[in-house]
A and B are shown apart, each in its own frame.
Chain A
Amino acid sequence: AQKITQTQPGMFVQEKEAVTLDCTYDTSDPSYGLFWYKQPSSGEMIFLIYQGSYDQQNATEGRYSLNFQKARKSANLVISASQLGDSAMYFCAMREGQGDYKLSFGAGTTVTVRA
């Protein structure tokens, strides 16, 4: 079964507007972590934000915030005040348990910011 589901293959957003990228996850482990990475066309993977399953508050990092709804098993990324440089592929990922720290990735969402 898919551990991470990203249902939006591609999205367009106007510059300076906010955009929400959906991510749902599936795990029975009470301890897990959720990550978002950005992959621009150049190919590198850039870490954006992390949310732990026991964290009480939603994570925020600058213009990035994570809308964590544990009961719904969703971890949506919100990018506020979009910039042209935000155009990229965005991946949601999950780490389960405490034994190892491998990440399971979703299929990704391509974001295109329009001027």
Chain B
Amino acid sequence: DSGVTQTPKHLITATGQRVTLRCSPRSGDLSVYWYQQSLDQGLQFLIQYYNGEERAKGNILERFSAQQFPDLHSELNLSSLELGDSALYFCASSFREGLVHEQFFGPGTRLTVL
């Protein structure tokens, strides 16, 4: 158990819908990262937050947005869903930057868009 929690574990929805994925980082970790794993694109970095502020952005679609709250949990919002958004979405967290290198991953949320 990495200490990172993600809910829900599975999500099935229809095209055009909007969903919210939730992540709670390990206790004490200030940074949260979101990654998408799909068969055609592999594992891709989406976005990073550090202590509530956006720190880095990767291949995140405009239909997707995220935020990190004062209690450090994070949410990834996916809207106007398309079939191609079906993927495994991971949240990862890390300790104070520069001190610990590992990113600890949550169990992932498997999103299926029908």
Contact = CB atoms under 8 A, between A and B. Distances in A.
Interface of A: 33, 35, 37, 43-47, 50, 52, 91, 93, 95, 98-108
Contact of B94 (A37, A46, A101): A101
Interface of B: 2, 31, 33, 35, 42-45, 48, 55-56, 58, 88, 90, 92, 94, 97-98, 101-108, 110
Main secondary structure of the interface of B (DSSP, over half): strand
Nearest to A107: B42
A47 B33 contact: no
B42 A104 contact: no
Contacts, number: 61
Nearest to B58: A102
Most buried by B among A37, A52, A101: A101
A105 B105 contact: no
Contacts of A52: 101
A47 B104 CA distance: 7
Contact of A45 (B44, B56, B98, B105): B105
Contacts of B102: 35, 47, 50
B101 A104 contact: no
Most buried by A among B43, B45, B90: B43
